[in-house]
């Protein structure tokens, strides 16, 4: 059943100081629908240096204005609640705007919109509760620590979760009194633009702005001398460029949430059915286009045959849910665009003969950029498909003998974003969890993320944390104040 045939206006301009404006550049760019390859628009505008400067000036004015800096933290909380409500009331439109750019199925898109609203509501509750500290004046000095906003912040968004990552960055930034400039991915800019325009009656002009653009626009933000913080979600290669630009400009604060290659350890005492369900969900959600996808599945030798057979059967069943993203029956959409489809395909060209394909490994259908969910068995440890992030529905299954064997393979990676262990032995679960080199570990679950707890990685998966109370800290500067009580 097709949920809706309704279409909405497509925003193509920049959103600066509370309104849509034309880019200073005459160039225009195109976006195509990955479900059928059709042109969505050829009128997308990108921000150039003049536009970035204009947005920063507007942001600086908003940051210092009475309309924003002069309100109480309780009032900021009310504003964030209104933002959450606006997202909820317009979630079908926001989901549609992402659906036509990256093929996210309607149920997934509406779910992401609701998740985005939930994050804003969560940070609304924090706005008047992010307290400082005081220390005893037993030496004659009262010591006070207060948390102050940084000022103009920038958030560079990924294409795979274009709505949720708005809240990851803007939620804690606004809750702590900062102002935010967002640069959505050039592949999926519409929901960020539309959301900003929905908030013109809620936020003062300049508090939340959106600049379309590709890498050149992101570099302008990273190098701008008046931006105090940049939060980036995306590839490791781009993350390094962001960090370098931030250091070479004004040493702006940086949060990087980069790639992942999640290892999931399936031990022989696990609930097998539960492990299969989670492993399937973890590689098929968003068509595998998530940084915490469990793309390395390690199975203890004694249950390898049983688990692998059940896993392949489950993956094959998930392929029956591939289809029209507009249908409520669809759970599995296309890859984001031709470039991403070609990238996933390239792994199978490069690694031909280095791995056994148990199911999938090829295009689904003849129209659009659909790729079959895939299971590979005992790939060559040096194969690109095993070592590198694929960002597609491809899981590599390898066997292990014992805990030490699993830990050695799981930690033998430059990624450290997410990991999992499946076992009924709580002692083993805690022992293994503590030794997995990862920012997040799931026990009898995998690919978990919740706004109450911090999210981020170790090693080349980035640094800094988003979500939870930790997300607030990255948007504030602690200031220590000494009061001489003997003066």
Q: Catalytic residue numbers?
A: 257, 291
φ, ψ at 327 (rounded to 5°): -90, 140
Q: Identify how many contiguous H helices and E strands the chain contains and give both numbers.
A: 15, 20
DSSP per position, 197-240: HHTTTTS-TTSEEE---SHHHHHHHHH-TT--EEEEES-HHHHH
Q: What's the order of all strands across the beta sheet hosting 14-16?
A: 19-21, 14-16, 208-210, 179-183, 152-156, 229-233, 253-257, 462-463
What residues have CB less than 8 Å from 202, skipping those under 6 apart?
79, 82, 83, 86
Secondary structure (DSSP) of 138-204: TTSEEEEEEEEE-SEEEEEPPSSSTTHHHHHHHHHHHHTT-EEEEE--TTS-HHHHHHHHHTTTTS-
Give CA–CA dist 234/157, Å, rounded.
7
Residue with tokens 């959106």: 210
Q: Which of 33, 113, 108 is nearest to 335 (CA)?
A: 33
Signed CA dihedral, 31, 160, 412, 462: sign only: positive
Length in residues, the chain: 487
Name the 3-class secondary structure at 127.
coil
Decide: helix, strand or coil at residue 476: strand
Backbone dihedral angles phi then psi of residue 342, each to the nearest 5 degrees: -65, -35
Q: Is 265 exposed, middle or buried (0-12, 13-18, 19+ CB in 10 A)?
A: buried
Give the whole-angstrom CA distance, residue 99 versus residue 205: 28
∠ CA 190-238-46, rounded to 5°: 35
* E strands, 52-157, in order: 133-135, 141-149, 152-156
405 CB-near residues (< 8 Å, 6+ apart): none
CA separation for the pair 196, 443 (Å, rounded): 38
Please, is 85 exposed, middle or buried when counting C-beta atoms within 10 Å of its C-beta (0-12, 13-18, 19+)?
Answer: middle
CB-based burial of residue 147 (10 Å sphere; 0-12 exposed, 13-18 middle, 19+ buried)?
middle
């Amino acid at each position: 059943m097709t949920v809706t045939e309704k279409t909405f206006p497509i925003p193509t301009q920049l959103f600066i100081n509370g309104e849509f404006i034309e880019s200073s550049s005459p160039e225009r760019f195109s976006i195509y629908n990955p479900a059928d390859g059709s042109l969505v628009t050829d009128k997308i505008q990108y921000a150039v240096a003049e536009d970035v400067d204009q947005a920063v000036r507007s942001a600086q004015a908003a940051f210092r204005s009475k309309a924003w800096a002069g309100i109480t933290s309780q009032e900021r909380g009310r504003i964030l609640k209104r933002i959450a409500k606006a997202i909820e009331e317009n979630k079908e439109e926001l989901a549609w705007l992402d659906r036509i750019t990256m093929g996210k199925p309607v149920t997934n898109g509406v779910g992401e919109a609701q998740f985005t609203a939930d994050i804003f509501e969560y940070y609304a509750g924090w706005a008047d509760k992010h307290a400082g500290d005081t220390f005893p004046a037993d030496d004659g000095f009262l010591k006070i620590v207060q948390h102050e906003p940084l000022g103009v912040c920038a958030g560079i968004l990924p294409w795979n979760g274009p709505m949720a990552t708005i809240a990851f960055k803007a939620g804690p930034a606004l809750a702590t009194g900062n102002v935010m400039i967002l640069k959505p991915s050039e592949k999926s800019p519409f929901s960020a633009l539309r959301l900003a325009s929905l908030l013109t009656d809620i936020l003062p002009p300049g508090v939340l702005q959106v600049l379309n653009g590709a890498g050149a626009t992101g570099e302008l933000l990273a190098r701008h001398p008046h931006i105090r913080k940049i939060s980036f979600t995306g590839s490791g290669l781009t993350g390094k460029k962001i960090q370098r630009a931030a250091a070479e400009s004004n040493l702006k604060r940086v949060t990087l949430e980069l790639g992942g290659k999640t290892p999931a350890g399936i031990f022989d005492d696990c609930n097998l059915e539960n492990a299969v369900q989670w492993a399937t969900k973890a590689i098929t959600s968003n068509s595998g286009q998530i940084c915490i996808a469990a793309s390395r599945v390690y199975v203890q030798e004694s249950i390898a045959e049983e688990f692998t057979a059940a896993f392949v059967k489950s993956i094959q069943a998930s392929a029956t849910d591939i289809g029209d993203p507009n249908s409520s029956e669809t759970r599995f959409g296309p890859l984001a665009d031709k470039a991403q489809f070609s990238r996933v395909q390239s792994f199978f060209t490069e690694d031909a003969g280095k791995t056994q394909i148990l199911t999938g490994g090829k295009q689904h259908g003849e129209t659009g950029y659909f790729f079959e969910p895939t299971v590979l068995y005992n790939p060559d440890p040096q194969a690109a498909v095993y070592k590198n992030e694929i960002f597609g529905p491809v899981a590599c299954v390898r066997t292990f003998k014992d805990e030490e064997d699993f830990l050695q393979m799981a930690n033998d990676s430059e990624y450290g974003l997410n990991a999992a262990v499946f076992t009924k032995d709580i002692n083993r679960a805690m022992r293994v969890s503590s030794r997995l080199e990862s920012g997040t570990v799931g026990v009898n679950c995998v690919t978990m993320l919740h706004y109450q707890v911090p999210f981020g990685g170790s090693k080349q998966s980035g640094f800094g944390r988003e979500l939870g109370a930790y997300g607030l800290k990255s948007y504030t500067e602690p200031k220590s104040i000494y009061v001489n009580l003997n003066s």
